[in-house]
Amino acid sequence: MTLEPDTAQKPTRAAYSDGPRLLADIGATHARFALEIAPGVLRNVAVLLCDDYPGIVPLLNAYLAQTQAQGSNTRITHAAFALANPISGDFIRMTNRDWQFSTEEVRRTLGLTTLLIVNDFTALAMALPGFKPEDLLQIGGGKPVSNAVAGVLGPGTGLGVSGVIPTLDGFVTLGSEGGHVNFAPADEREFAILQYAWREWQHVSNERLISGPGMEIIYRALALRNGVEAPPRDAAAIMAGALEQKDLLCLEVLECFAGMLGGAAANLAVTLGAFGGIFIGGGIVPRMAEWFKTSPFRTRFEAKGRFSSYLAQIPTYVIMMPTPALYGVSSILSEHLRNRSGANTLMERVQHLQAELSPAEQRVAQLVIEHPRKVLSEPIAEIAKLADVSQPTVIRFCRSLGFSGLADFKLKFAGSLTGTIPVRHSQVRMTDSTHDLSAKVIDNTVSAILRFRDQLDVNSIDRAIDILRRAKRVEFYAMGNSRVVALDGQHKFFRFRIPTSSYGDSHLFALAAELLGPGDVVVAISTTGQLPELLDAVDVARAAGADVIAITSSKSALARKASVCLAVDHSEDSTTFLSMISRILQLLLIDIMAVGISLGPAGEAVADGDSERRRLLISHLDI
């Protein structure tokens, strides 16, 4: 591993208040790491060889151990990784390495609050807007158009492809696997290479040839075509043979490789309309940048028949900075944390776009900026009156920002305000329209669920799932509003072929508990956790040797008596109101446990037929 020394320059930007952020760009061959101590300020940049580690956790631990040895002992809370792999869901199985892992398990193992994993070229695309002229080497002519789409591709162990689309308030990246499009030869020589590759693969993609391993295929194919004896060479040796030894076969390989890359870049440019430029990343081209300037790349890029003049306008660049994807994941992580922490990104969007609105819409925007809570709580007629505009103008303002109407705007705006809206039934007024009351009820519920997610005690959930997975019998005890939660649990667990029953009569709690024994489990559900009959039944069940899982307030008497407490600390006055949101949070815990039971230990699927039948019953699972 190589660890670059920190520069003596002190960061000019304020350091993150919650400590440095761990950034990584993990490819098939190398992994690059850094600690970001302030926006755009990287320290402890390191490169590790992936072959030296059996999995991603040992790789991460090796880097963290090295940073600690260098004196960086600050606890890391947030991390983001770019991975040379398609990313879909929590479980990741790498295509170019024999590694597989759960993102959530890695997060918990490292003790992180946040862990994001994105495709490496999605991260690279997100880094494009931040590049400076000194970070790039332009190949050929063309000038970038401001606020235009840009494309990126890069040969390395594979061929990554992505793009970035500017919007009024930021950028959107494309999650693409464009490296796997069919390779299209442009001349007889490339057709001979394709025929050679067909001997091994029925489908030959761009990645098969425009990559490090592809360069080796081109080398062997051209040696056969030219009738020459050629010693085995890997991609690095082929490049060295061409650039240092001037070997004719190796030079022909690079020329052919550059031409193929130029054709692929041109196809990406016309597909995206990439007048912001085409950027070449990856680990190969920057190492031969000086030769690449005069290579066939740009000539082939513009060789598009009727569209040659179209492509001549589009600039092409080689990305020369050593760790560009790290800046991309930094940007993605910052945006994620800004949204999670309640930073007012939508308010910033209103401020940014205000000058582009009509004068009447600007008055609505000013009202939003100066009185955001009032906009959230008032109906459209009152908003129009306060802004001194018509009601259609309020709707036009919302649509100018990309929303379907006022209700849609309110839903998104409420979630973006610093702090969440207090959950009170009094927020809905008698004069509210159906749109307004719908927006308020949904927003209250969503904000409560997000807070609940952030406060989950995963260790308690793990213990509860383990107890339930080994249970001989499960009984649900609940009354009142929680009764529906108990019935939902009984329905789900019974479908798992677990002996299950549910009791909602306080007189039956203790009688049922007396019949329990070791290996049995009671799931006691109560918003307040103070019901005397329920507490007595829990005492009986514990005395009989049964385990008790309580879904209740963490400070309640029921929580103290239970084997495991799954806390729902949402505040609702159940003496006056129906506990609507608390019930939803309780149902979520039932769902979490049901999904957990359908999986094997530590989230790995169990192979036996019973577990397979359980998995088929769970809609959350990818089967």
* Residue closest to 104 by CA, chosen among 455, 342, 450, 458: 458
Q: What is the pLDDT of residue 147?
A: 83
Q: What is the pLDDT of residue 72?
A: 63
3-state helix, strand, coil in the chain (%, to 5): 50, 15, 35
Rounded Cα distance between 78 and 112, Å, is 6
Three-state SS for 310-325 is HHHCCCEEEECCCCHH
Q: What is the pLDDT of residue 418?
A: 41
Burial class (CB in 10 A: 0-12, 13-18, 19+), 148: middle
The single residue listed with the structure tokens 């019974």 is 494
Give the mean pLDDT per block of 10 residues along the chain (623 residues).
40 65 90 89 91 93 87 79 81 85 87 86 85 90 90 88 77 80 93 94 93 94 93 93 93 95 94 93 89 93 92 94 88 73 61 83 89 82 92 90 80 58 45 69 76 78 90 92 90 84 89 92 92 93 94 91 90 59 89 83 47 55 49
Rounded Cα distance between 466 and 91, Å, is 21
Burial class (CB in 10 A: 0-12, 13-18, 19+), 9: exposed
Q: At 541, list the tokens.
A: 């069940």
Q: What is the pLDDT of residue 7?
A: 38
Q: Are 406 and 430 in contact (CB under 8 A)?
A: no
Full DSSP string of 59-114 = HHHHHHHHHHHTT--PPP-EEEEEESS---SSEEE-SSSS-EEEHHHHHHHHT-SE
The string of pLDDT tens digits covering residues 468-498 is: 988 999 999 998 888 999 999 998 888 877 8
Detail the DSSP E strand segments found in 221-354. Answer: 278-280, 316-319
Q: What is the pLDDT of residue 170?
A: 65
The string of pLDDT tens digits covering residues 96-124 is: 788 988 888 888 888 888 888 888 888 88
Q: What is the pLDDT of residue 521?
A: 95
Q: What is the pLDDT of residue 118?
A: 86
3-state secondary structure of 147: coil
What does the angle CA 61 – CA 65 – CA 67 come to, to the nearest 5 degrees?
120
